[in-house]
Amino acid sequence: EDKVVQSPLSLVVHEGDTVTLNCSYEVTNFRSLLWYKQEKKAPTFLFMLTSSGIEKKSGRLSSILDKKELFSILNITATQTGDSAIYLCAMSEGGSQGNLIFGKGTKLSVKP
């Protein structure tokens, strides 16, 4: 059974829309949750979240973690065609030697 579940798996929106991507996880010893953006090649790091309720923000992107309900969301406001990508959520467990467990990703397509 998957430990990290992302939803939706794919999403099509128009430029200017706001989107919310979801990531739920199950873990016995949580360390951190990470978001990456993958266009054609290397996933690029967006955010790392370790504490509940503290929003991390970078331009039009923001993310927050809820450790009680075991989920995180990634928000993108005023979407642009350049936001089209696969967004990956990953979890790190304590004692795992830094290994990440990835969800299947959300494929976002932003239409002009």
Partner 1 sequence: DGGITQSPKYLFRKEGQNVTLSCEQNLNHDAMYWYRQDPGQGLRLIYYSQIVNDFQKGDIAEGYSVSREKKESFPLTVTSAQKNPTAFYLCASSRGKYSNQPQHFGDGTRLSIL
Residues in contact with partner 1 by CB under 8 A are 4, 9, 31-32, 34, 36, 41-45, 48, 50, 88, 90, 92, 96-100, 102-105
Task: With CA atoms as reference, report the closest residue to 60 among 78, 34, 47.
Answer: 78
> Quick one: 35 or 76, whose CB is closer to partner 1?
35
> Quick one: 19 or 48, whose CB is closer to partner 1?
48
Q: Cβ distance 88 to 36 under 8 Å?
A: yes
DSSP 8-state secondary structure symbol assigned to residue 39:
S
> Quick one: 4 or 65, whose CB is closer to partner 1?
4
